[in-house]
Structure 1
Amino acid sequence: MSITYSPEHNVFHLKTIHSSYIIQIVRGKYVAHLGWYSILQEWNGSYSLQFIDRSFSPNPEPDDRTFSLDTLPQEYPGYGRTDFRSPAYTIQYQDGSRVADLWYKEYRIIKGKPGLDKLPGTYIENNQEADTLEIILFDPVGRLRCILSYTVWNEFDVITRNVRFINDSENCISLLQTMSFSLDFPNKKYKLLQLSGAHCRERHIYTRSLVPGMQSIESRRGTSSHQQNPFIAILSPDADEDHGEVFGFNLVYSGNFLAQVEVDQFEMIRVMMGINPLNFNWVLNPGEQFQTPEVVMVYSRNGLGDMSRTFHDLYRKRLCRGKYRDTVRPILINNWEGTYFDFNEDKLVSLAKEAAPLGIELFVLDDGWFDNRKDDKRSLGDWFPDKHKLPGGLKTLAEEINKLGMKFGIWVEPEMVSVESRLYKTHPDWCLHVPNRSRSEGRNQLVLDLTRREVREYIIETITMVLSSAPISYVKWDMNRHLTEIGSSAFSSSQQGEISHRYVLGLYEILERITSSFPDILFESCSGGGGRFDPGMLYYMPQTWTSDNTDAISRIYIQKGTTIPYPAITMGAHVSTVPNHQTGRVVPLSLRGAVAMAGNFGYELDLTRLTEADKTEIKEQVSFYKEIRPLVQFGDLYRLDNEEFPLVYTSWSYVSKDKREVLVTFVLLRTEANDVFRIVRLKGLQSNYKYRLLGDGKVFWGEELMQVGLLLPYPLQENQSIIFRFRAE
């Protein structure tokens, strides 16, 4: 059992493979956090809580001036009862009071991991994989019950947490803030790592030292967003890729979120993450319950790389689901940057005829295939093939593609409606809106109100019709604007603070029903690229279009940051034309291929305009990726450099689980006159294995490649990439 309880110390000891998480019940009612450490065989209280009289820290028990919640490290703190730090929850009772006493009542330990109501989450396939501790808190005055859930995984250094509120009273209770977890670290200097950016510049790595006060990232856009990813990590001062303690936190949610770190007056650090409380107010009726999203918490004592590989293994095996979880993903060509809206059936077939002999396996028809979709100003919601572009419909086109030996996929954006569409003219009230207010448009479109049952049923019905109309093997599910005027005519005025979250719940219901109905289709999520790259979407769709920016140099930064929590098999990565359509940059086809091969490989260009030499090189790239595909998609990723922005060079490798296959990619981004010699030191090899460099024949011991490294050719050119493959003998 990975969870034990000591009545002597009133301590719960949660053990992962390499870590110990300690909880103590203090004075019979307060749930305190004693630390998250490298693995301990047993907890005997060498560190115990100290209480002294602190000025301006009031006392919930007046007889003891040394005890204050303002200085107690807690598991799920509230506000208004002597703790002045940020609360994990805020509620309002019917009398207007926001003071609550969620005191410890009891606990239970469960074999396995319960699922979450209406929400995605990590899962188990048998009860031996995990144990779950539930700590039940109760406010005896307001009669609000709160269940803190901790699942300890037996094969991963992972603890997942979530919270459930239950109204045991006879009155309505308003939930104003419901974070999925809170964690107090003792006074120690830490750094904060976050993944931030913008559209076409997602998930760049930023690291900063923590200072007194609040540091936070958040989304208020209705989605997890391009701007901030729902992931943060707390790093010890010496932490890098291979050394130091790292604590990673990832929210399994696709809507508004808040992740914050507060350093208090005594240098204690409070970390919490959950649904953004801005514009959130959930009315909990008598007998009802509210479930928060799950947070995945990963501990590493060996730096960021070890933390990343733990996230990768967990997400590949126990977050992603379905047929494609354990299946290599197809190499595709997407017509978007090759044609945009300007195509017809003949043009698409001509592209496919160029792609098939190159070994490409999947042809994806992007935006513009449905009724009157001449540009991005019209027709979203009218999911019927455009008879002018596709006179034979999707079925005829898909069958032509299939005859060439390729599978067929399409693009959809079901959550949106164009003002110029039959759907909007028929149902103008079906979009999110606030009465008597104008409706803001983004990309000439509005957001459908997924809180409404009839809207969800329309989306499910029409998309089901589309997917049933032709032999479709792949769907790219897009979302190209964020939420404004977040209101719904389907709910009362007192429930308008629920709409943002209800939108996400509505989306999850749609995704569950559609993906379950079409288990043989590979679904890829997208939101203007990587605007909704989060664990919640990966639960339904096992890969995400990483960014609308296909420039290889930009993608190096984007993909490096993405791999901090997310595995390579979840990243869509394409080779596009030059000059690049987003940056205007011109880089060699070899570099574009090397960078795209770090994820789910594909192309996004007009093959009919390429030279024969380019086509030959693409054919070689496709053949090569098919050889390395299992290694990239299911192997262990090692980021081989500790370089920070702007990069001079970068390098990464994939190592098979048995340590016998190795792929190394090196990219030089900037050169200087009379430049230095460069060495790449490999990681993750078996020291006593002999590795043969394929194509060269030289043999090296694993320890030599890791400790001494591999000397790179000299000189190297700017934007030059080199790929090495090793195989153990």
Structure 2
Amino acid sequence: MIIERNGCFLLQTKGTSYLFNILPSGHPEHLHYGASVISDKQYESLLKTSTFGDGSEGEEASVLLKNICYSLSEKHPAAGGNMISYSDEYPNIALEDLPLEISSFGKGDIRDPFVLITHENGSKTSDFVFEKASFNNEIKAPESLPGSYVDKEDIAVGSSVDHASQLVVTYKDKEYGTKLEVIYSVYPECDVITRRAVVISGNEKIHIDRIMSNQIDFHENGLVFTSFHGRWADEMHRTDSVCDGGRCVSEEMAAGESGSRSNPFVMISRKDTTEDNGYCYGFNLIYSGNHYEALSSNGYDKSRFVSGISPATFGWSLEKGERFESPESVMTFDMHGANGMSRHMHDFVRKHVVRGTWRDKNRPILINSWEASYFKFNESSLLKLAKEAAGLGIELFVMDDGWFGKRNDDKSSLGDWYVNKDKLPNGLEGLSKKIEDLGMLFGIWVEPEMVNEDSDLYRVHPDWAVQVPGHAHSKGRNQMNLDFTRTEVQDYVIDAMKKVFSSGNISYVKWDMNRIFSDYYSASLPGDRQDEFMHRYYLGLYRIMKELTEAFPNILFEGCSAGGNRFDLGILSYFPQIWGSDDTDAICRVGIQRGYSYGYPQSAIGAHVSAAPNHQTLNTVPLETRFDVASFGCFGYELNLCDISSSERKEIKDQIDFYKKYRHTLQFGHYYRLEDGRCMAVSDDRKQAIGFMLQKESRPNRDVVTFRTKGLDDSKSYHFTNKYVDIDLKAMGSLVNMFAPVHIKQDGILHNIANSVVKVQNEKEDMIATGAILNNTGVRLRPKFGGIGFDQDGDKIGILRTGDSRLYVISEV
């Protein structure tokens, strides 16, 4: 809901209010964003009034908004010492000490600016003041970038319908005629508001040095800025910084992708905020390139948050009358901590960012060939792996890197998108048909944004690779970026991928990008416009992705960039899921996936079970733990099923059966972070939930464990049980002789025979408890082995070693 009266604007969602008003000088004063400032009764009343205007039908709204605005606005009788007075007409206005909706340079606001423009005369001073506002009931999408919008129909969120609406506020530079449009879209049921900006040049040519997508000025400092950082195969580690003064920045300024180094999702909260209590804001950017998020604090007890394209590697020139549109930003708020904020963000991403055929569909269980064979495969070995997978109930077979050109390692053939007939004599069509005959879908790996120097494409079009002519180029993974600022390169990739995707019955595509950018240069751009390169690259990429996803609406696309190096809402606008990390070590993945969970739903995160020892860390983690961790996402396997033991084969078959039964809850349920690294997913109707617990460190004589849930219905009763886990006899070591009738030598013949036929009985949870008990107190689990014996009668004492885990099934009675 959007209401305007006498220059006061209220953007209202189900649980939040966003308010600003226009000062006499024409500057927009930001009044409030956060907890709702109106009652439920007032909300219902306002829904019946007209959105804009001052007629008698809106008298109640006019009085209400007038009182709210006056109570929240700052009263400054004069500009403070050493401040700049805005003008002789308004000497009491000092922009440095005002919370603003937008800020520019040169009129006294010396904080992080929203927009910075160089005019034809070389000046960087701008003075944007209010010109007009308009309201759209039908959301308009960004013209050149992916956006979260309702196209024609309202989109259901849970059991309700999200009637989104849009406000466009236009500001005009009094001196130069440049216009700045700020576009707000309001999604009431998700408790989400989005913002973006459009710069329109007036009677001169201008250069945009900086244009943000969002700015929020807070009336307090000492806020906590939470960002997520890492590196390849070690993404999304949470970092909390208290901003009492100066600036806290999360930025990907040069990599050319949203990045594993700094994800564009950030949070802002108060110091006492927890997972379940306290003020928490979430912010993200619908963009895949270099980004900038910063929280600064000044000496007047104010904080400013800005986010948008990183200004370090961005610039844009506009001729008279031209326009530039920034990416769309997303913001949400909840009074009940980070878990509440995350649920709003998850709902919004699932329903308004992800789109197309696969938006609400359960993702298939897959087997990926990469860690099973790397580049060393042929049709025969792939079919052998596929037969094993089909027998276990896996639904999708994915052939990874190495199927095209002369690709036997990572030094050649990127760009040559024709089948390697030495490996696949029957082509993609023949292989996909044989996979289908096994009852599985077929998928492939591609890396369309890259080219190797050792490729037919590079030999014909060396100028299509991103490099500075006449200068040495630094490569990554033996490859170079293709120049997507050029239409002819975009056209080549679109045509090549259409041929590939049409050459067999392809149901899934893993779209990879395995290097960042070094040189920023395009031979198609003049020297004074090379600062436009990175943004133009993503305009080109989005055009390619749009055309291909529209041409192949039934293909399930998964984004990937050396794992999670480009995990962002821009990619999710086209591809419904992204590979979370190249690190498949379950212990590492617990932290990585928990980091993603703050801003991204499980249905967007690819997660696989791989071999042990793990190929990235050489750690050995139990197969059950590998499954438990990967099950909270788009699930699959990435190991050689032909090499596993019969007991592992049975275990995997049981895992697949379990996952199919609870798949929808695991992928689309409401996600809650619990204490001590635990988590759970709860179905929409709160009738079913799956909980996860990892034993990080097993200690003797600490056998009592409590499992406390979140999100269940307090008034209902639930059956609480666990996914049963068998334990090998060898897990007991020489302790087996404590109860064996004869002495058993470790790893001897008798030990191996006994291990093949005897399983140690593990605990079986079986209790009925109310949702109130589960949520507020938690249930006491069966005791765990404590080093002083073991119950041979079975199911009374559990074995939970360091690295072991459990899944708990909670079903309404």
| TM-score (normalised: structure 2) | 0.87
Shift of 1:725: 0.8
Aligned match for 1:630, one of 649, 654, 664: 664
Aligned to 1:46, the other structure's residue is in SS state helix
| 1:290 and 2:317 matched | no
Q: Is the 8 A contact 2:706 2:779 kept in 1?
A: yes
Q: Which residue of 2 aligns with 1:19?
A: 16
Task: Assess, with a 3 A threshold, how the Cα gap between structure 1 residues 666 and 636 changes in structure 2: closer, same or farther.
Answer: same
Matched residue, 1:665: 692
Q: Which residue of 2 aligns with 1:646?
A: none
> 2:609 & 2:89 partners in 1: Cα distance?
70
**Contact 1:214-1:263 at 8 Å conserved across structures:** yes
Shift in alpha-carbon separation, 1:560–1:577, aligned structure 2, 3 A: same
Equivalent in the alignment of 1:714 = 783
Counterpart for residue 49 of structure 1: 74
Q: Give SS of 1:461's match.
A: helix
Aligned pairs for 1:88-487 within 5 A: 88-124=114-150, 125-126=152-153, 129-169=163-203, 171-219=204-252, 220-487=254-521
Q: Note the C-alpha offset of 1:419.
A: 0.7
From 65, 68, 71, the counterpart of 2:94: 68
Structure 1 contact 79–86 (Cα < 8 Å) conserved: no
| C-alpha displacement of 1:63 | 5.5
After TM superposition, give the deviation of residue 395 of structure 1 in Å.
1.1
SS in 1 for 2:363: coil
Paired residue secondary structure (1:27): coil
2:706 matched residue in structure 1: 679
Q: Secondary structure at the match of 1:230?
A: coil
Whether the aligned pair in 1 keeps the contact of 2:713 and 2:771 (CA below 8 Å) is yes
Task: Identify the residue that residue 750 of structure 2 maps to in structure 1.
Answer: none
Which residue identity is paired with 1:720?
Answer: D
SS of 1:278's partner is: helix
Identify which range, 182-191 or 709-718, moves more after superposition: 709-718
Distance 2:466 2:301 in 1: 44
Aligned-partner Cα distance in 2 for 1:566–1:409:
24
Greater C-alpha Rg? 2
For residues 285 and 494 of structure 1, the distance between their equivalents in structure 2, rounded to whole angstroms, comes to 14
Tell me the amino acid that sits aligned with residue 652 of structure 1.
C
Alignment correspondent of 1:647:
none
Distance 1:280 1:459 in 2: 25
The alignment partner of 2:71 has SS state of: coil
State which drifts further: 556-565 or 150-159: 150-159
Instruction: Tell me which residue corresponds to 2:789.
Output: none
Three-state SS of the structure 2 residue aligned to 1:304 is helix
For residue 4 of structure 2, what is the aligned residue in structure 1?
Answer: 5
CA distance in structure 1 between the aligned counterparts of 2:703 and 2:84, rounded to whole angstroms: 61
- Superposed displacement of residue 47, structure 1: 2.6
Pick one of 521, 529, 547 that aligns with 1:495: 529
Superposed displacement of residue 28, structure 1: 4.1
| SS of the residue 1:132 aligns to | strand
2:807 is the alignment partner of 1:723? yes
1:481 CA displacement = 0.4
**Paired amino acid for 1:118:** S
How far apart, CA to CA, are the structure 1 residues paired with 2:294 and 2:202?
30
Q: Distance in 2 between matches of 1:520 and 1:706?
A: 40
Q: Distance in 2 between matches of 1:615 and 1:229?
A: 37
SS of the counterpart of 1:489? coil
Structure 1 CA distance for aligned equivalents of residues 12 and 808 of structure 2: 39
Asked if structure 1 preserves the Cα contact closer than 8 Å seen for 2:32 and 2:72, the reply is no
Partner letter of residue 50 of structure 1? K
1:426 maps to amino acid? V
| Structure-to-structure mapping, 1:694-713, within 5 angstroms | 694=721, 697-713=766-782
Q: Distance in 1 between matches of 2:519 and 2:462?
A: 14
Aligned to 2:748: none
Which residues of structure 1 form unaligned runs of 5+?
644-649
Q: Displacement of 1:46 after TM fit?
A: 2.1
Q: Counterpart of 1:651?
A: 678
Mind listing any 5+ residue stretches in structure 2 that lack a counterpart?
Answer: 39-63, 155-161, 723-764, 785-799
Post-superposition shift, 1:675?
A: 2.7
Aligned residues: 718
Q: Distance in 1 between matches of 2:370 and 2:703?
A: 41
Deviations 1:452-507 (A, max 9, x none): 01100000011110110011100000000011211111111221110100001100
Q: Deviations over 1:350-376 (max 9, x none)?
A: 000111010000000000001110100
Structure-1 separation of matches of 2:88 and 2:554: 64
State the one-letter code of the partner of 2:693: F
| Partner AA of 1:273 in structure 2 | S
For residue 780 of structure 2, what is the amino acid of its counterpart?
Answer: L
Shift of 1:423: 0.4
Give the whole-Å Cα distance in 1 for the aligned partners of 2:90 and 2:451: 61
1:30 to 23, 27, 30: 27
Name the aligned partner's letter for residue 121 of structure 1: G
* Aligned counterparts of 1:615 and 1:123: Cα–Cα separation in 2: 45
Deviation for aligned residue 1:168: 2.5
**After superposition, what is the alpha-carbon deviation per residue over 1:286-323, rounded to whole angstroms, capped at 9, x for unaligned?**
12110000000001111100111111111111110111
Match of 1:85 in 2: 111
Contact 1:195–1:231 (Cα < 8 Å) also in 2: yes
Counterparts of 2:222 and 2:109, CA distance in 1: 22
Q: Which residue type is aligned with residue 112 of structure 2?
A: S
Return the letter of the residue paired with 2:177: R
CA contact (8 A) 1:162 1:294 kept: yes
SS at match of 1:682: coil
CA distance in 2, matches of 1:289, 1:493: 21
Deviates more, 1:322-331 or 1:717-726: 717-726
Tell me how far 1:694 sits from its aligned partner. 4.6
Which secondary structure state, in structure 2, belongs to the residue aligned with residue 32 of structure 1?
strand
Cα shift readout 1:511-559 (whole Å, capped 9, x = no counterpart) = 0001110011100000000011100000100000000000000000000
Provide the TM-score with structure 1 as the length reference: 0.97
- Is contact 2:22-2:28 (8 Å) kept? yes
Q: Distance in 2 between matches of 1:639 and 1:217?
A: 23
Query: CA offset at residue 131 of structure 1?
Result: 1.6
Aligned residue number for residue 580 of structure 2: 546
SS across alignment from 2:517: coil
**Percentage of identical aligned residues:** 40
Contact 1:395 1:471 in 2 (8 A): yes
- Which residue identity does 1:53 align to in structure 2? A
CA distance in 1 between counterparts of 2:220 and 2:639 reads 53
Give the match's secondary structure for 1:209.
strand
8 Å Cα contact 1:212/1:267 also seen in 2 = no
Tell me the alpha carbon deviations over residues 396-430 of structure 1, each in whole angstroms, 9 at most, x when there is no partner.
Answer: 11111111111110000000000110100100000
Give the distance between the partners of 2:484 and 2:97, measured in 1 at CA.
Answer: 43
CA distance in 2, matches of 1:444, 1:37: 48
Looking at structure 2, the residues matched to 382 and 697 of structure 1 have their Cα atoms a distance apart, in angstroms, of: 57
Q: Distance in 2 between matches of 1:622 and 1:582?
A: 24
Give yes or no for the alignment of 1:582 onto 2:616: yes
Q: Is the 8 A contact 1:112 1:126 kept in 2?
A: no
Q: Distance in 1 between matches of 2:186 and 2:207?
A: 31
Q: Secondary structure at the match of 1:181?
A: strand
In structure 2, the partner of 1:522 is: 556
Question: How far has the Cα of 1:65 moved from its partner?
Answer: 4.4
Contact 2:114-2:306 within 8 A present in 1 as well:
yes
1:153 is displaced (CA, Å) by 1.1
